[in-house]
Amino acid sequence: ETGVTQSPTHLIKTRGQQVTLRCSSQSGHNTVSWYQQALGQGPQFIFQYYREEENGRGNFPPRFSGLQFPNYSSELNVNALELDDSALYLCASSLGGRGGTGELFFGEGSRLTVL
Amino acid sequence: GENVEQHPSTLSVQEGDSAVIKCTYSDSASNYFPWYKQELGKGPQLIIDIRSNVGEKKDQRIAVTLNKTAKHFSLHITETQPEDSAVYFCAASNNAGNMLTFGGGTRLMVKP
């Protein structure tokens, strides 16, 4: 157990809808990173939040957005869902933002299916 | 940007044998190389990492080697056990806290 919790664990949406995924980081961690893992592939970096600010972004369109709250929990929002957005969305917490030297602790993910 | 290639994509070994997984990376600025184990229905879990100032690191049955000149690094698991069966991912970054670029994964099956 890493102490990183994600909700919901599974959800099904239809194309064009919007979804919000939630993550509670490990106690003491001020950084949250989100990754998308398509079936049979490695995780791909979406973005990182550090002290409530976006602190780096991967190659994802603006309809992927996020928030980090004062307690360091985070949300990932995806608008105008497409079939290719079907994936496992992983949240990882760490300490110190991009300059941090500690490992990432991953949650168990939210599996999104878009029909 | 960084690109990480991982081989093989599947690996089947007999219990007690050794397993080796290899990765190559493209960005010479990368200096942090973690390995993750992902079991079915779970998130990736860090099993070992290496930074560019060392060439080899060992933790019990697991070892990682790094060749910065050739831009490749490898995971070695000795005396494999059935509970080692999982998907293993290598990754690279220019700092432990920064974004990780993952390889495509290796499904390791250890037959009793």
The string of pLDDT tens digits covering residues B55-100 is 999 999 999 999 999 999 999 999 999 999 999 999 999 877 779 9
Percent with pLDDT over 70 in chain A? 97
What's residue A2's pLDDT?
A: 63
Chain B residues whose C-beta sits inside 8 Å of any chain A C-beta: 1, 4, 6, 34, 36, 41-46, 49, 89, 91, 95-105
The overall average pLDDT reported for chain A is 93
Query: What region does A30 belong to: left with phi over 0, alpha with psi -120 to 50, or beta?
Result: alpha
CB A90 within 8 Å of CB A43: yes
The string of pLDDT tens digits covering residues B13-40 is 999 999 999 999 999 999 999 999 999 9
**Measured in whole angstroms, how far is the alpha carbon of residue A45 from the centre of its chain?**
9
Q: Which of B33, B99, B106 should we substitute to test contact with A (largest number of A Cβ atoms within 10 Å)?
A: B99
What's residue A112's pLDDT?
A: 98
* pLDDT higher than threshold 80 for residue A101: no
What's residue A114's pLDDT?
A: 98
Percent helix, percent strand, percent coil in chain B, to nearest 5: 5, 55, 40
* Strand ranges for A69-109 from DSSP E: 74-78, 87-94, 105-106
Per the CB < 8 Å rule, is A42 touching B41? no
What's residue A28's pLDDT?
A: 86
User: Residue B100: closest CA among chain A residues belongs to which residue?
Assistant: A45
| B54 or A23, higher pLDDT | A23
State the smallest CA–CA distance between residue B66 and chain A in angstroms: 18
Q: Which of A25, A34, A45, A95 should we substitute to test contact with B (largest number of B Cβ atoms within 10 Å)?
A: A45
**Which residues lie below 8 Å from residue A65, measured CB to CB, with a gap of 6+?**
A76, A77, A78, A79
Per the CB < 8 Å rule, is A45 touching B101? yes
What's residue A1's pLDDT?
A: 61
Per the CB < 8 Å rule, is A43 touching B45? no
Q: How far apart are CA B39 and CA B102, in angstroms?
A: 16
